[in-house]
Structure 1
Amino acid sequence: MDINNLSTKQLLKLPNPLFCGGIEAYNNERELCLSLDKKKNNNYHKYLSSLKNKSSYINYLPIKLDIENVSRCNFRCKMCQVSEWKNGKRADDMIIEAFQHLIDEQYGAVEIKLQGMGEPLLGGETYFKMVEYARSKHIWVRTVTNASLLHKDKYYKRIIDADVNEIQISIDGADKKTFEGIRCRGLFEKVVENCILINSYCEKKGIERTKMWVVLQQDNQHQLFEFIQLAKHMKFKSMVFSLDLGNWGQEYWAKKNEIQKAAPITLDIGHKLIGLGLEAGIKVFFWFGSSKYSYQNLCPWPFERVYISSDLRVVPCCIIANPDVYNLGSAMSITETWNNKEYTKFRQTHLDGNIPKICHSCYIE
């Protein structure tokens, strides 16, 4: 996406996704999390103090974590790097003891995304224990799922009862042909059925925990308006159109997904989608996953957030999401890795305006 283009700049005015339950719910949970741990509270205020004067060496721990509990998937989505991994798997699953160690040692975290490259519900019982452990410390937990397993052993209830804060559910087709053509090995009818199950359960409990997430691309852009009606049918209260395809920090995927990119939508279409959503009782948002940073507005990841792979390696961000592509060190001790030679050099290149090549796709040219 060319952010220097006038029409693109106008599109950036469209609403970005909000936290499930709203920003007030998120802020309240964060304040509760901070109030329960003096070290965490001190760490967070050190982070706030650093925002106006960033440094390559940081005197606080990251405040957000992306934790990949599994690096394997039962789908082979055509725009995802997992689709070309052998048997759809890169490494072994993270064990619960490793997760608990991460949460305990990395006392700075107020928010985690529990998912990486793969379907987190494949982790089964261990996954639910991870959610429960983080929530016991009032850490805000967001996760992502393809919804294929929500019916299994009533997972749709288990994940909600574990008190997860937000679930992004990936829906990239408004009918069977389109959905299964993009999300290969997925069964459209089962995913729809499972979304109704989890959203009906949330409705029964009087809470909102899910977002329908659509990655717009050539093969589904003709269904732009149909997604609204599908979201209504599946009882979603909120949905997001993602307007970028990632490249996973790899030239191969950059070329492949460039071909699959959808034609840019117009501001008028964006407003029409919002209006149709309102009529259907659905909040509609838009996400620009890349091309949003500049030398004056640096990517926040190197300064506040860590991506931890299932085999306990540290990756710069969720756009790369693969330690075999870029590895900053071991996650066995975040306190050491966070300021090791590789990490401080990585930050300094950003501060100097020499943005690493692997990060170029997220920066304005």
Structure 2
Amino acid sequence: MNKQFSQLKQKMIGQVLLIAILAAIMGFVFYYVFVDGILQAPFAEMVVSIIVALFNLDYYEAVNVYSRIFRQNKVLWLAFGFIVLLLIVFYFALSRFKNYFIAISEGIDRLAEESDKEIVLPEELDFMERKLNSVKGALQKRAQAVQEAEQRKNDLVVYLAHDIKTPLTSVIGYLSLLSEASDMPIEQKAKYVDITLEKAYRLEQLINEFFEITRFNLQSIVLDKETIPLPFMLMQLADEFYPLLAPRGQKANVNAEEGIKVYADPDKLARVFNNILKNAIAYSEENSVIDISALKKDTSIIVSFKNRGKAIPAQKLELIFEKFYRLDSARGTQTGGSGLGLAIAKEIIVAHGGTISAISNEEETVFTVMLPLKN
């Protein structure tokens, strides 16, 4: 950018010098042709005639006036002429600057517009034109992304509010039966209590998703880092998820290099791995194995979660880390959450100075977290 501004400055200096040189040439031509040159006599006769007509002097008196004004003050007239020429050059230079500022101001005004029309500036400002159009495109994409995220959030709130009614109605219904039928058989009462508890858990899950949406919009990520033995954290994570893995015949195998330690916020990093593993369990095949690995590579620590299941389409793979995006968008699905798990995971990893990514094909889906070895 500095180089381009320097080129513009050089071009403008060249234009000003060219105007100055042309003005000086014209000044010299005027002086040495009309005042003290080949056209001196016609010019003198014209001036004398004007003096005679305006002041009612005779011819010789007018010639004397002309001589005192022009012939005896050549240096002053030459200096006056150059001052006038310099003012003309200065005026043209300011005009160029003014036109550039006006063009840039109009370009900035169009930058705020929501139209798809490109910003057009003078040829000399082509680098600024490209920059403004690039910023305009980025702002439009950002605005579109925010609008889409807001729409997804609104849809989720509507869906969750609707879905809350179902378990709440069931809870009220079964509790009413238990309250009214005091002589209900123990087996039937136990069955109704189990159903009510199941619906209450589902209701709690939906309410937590509401809170998750609110927390995501209000909280800022503050890290409280410490040294963490990564293999131990991953083994503990796999053990904690056994109740979710066992009913589907799934297993979580951990293969981590010994002695790997990461300097990070343990609670937030555990939340990242929790969200990724929960996602892998929900979308992997029954009776399959989820492979969790961790290793050092150069100055990074790489943690990957590999599961076997239906491939994630490429167009959806680009969106899964956006807030409020649900891979399974079916309303009321047990696998679809608030669409914040992976978005929050990305924000936490980025706050640690790392990256998170995913690849997917017909054979497997792999989520990869890369953290700096020292940060």
TM-score normalized with structure 1 length:
0.19
Relative contact order higher in (CA < 8 Å, ≥ 6 apart): 1
Which of 1 and 2 has greater Rg?
A: 2
TM-score normalized with structure 2 length:
0.18
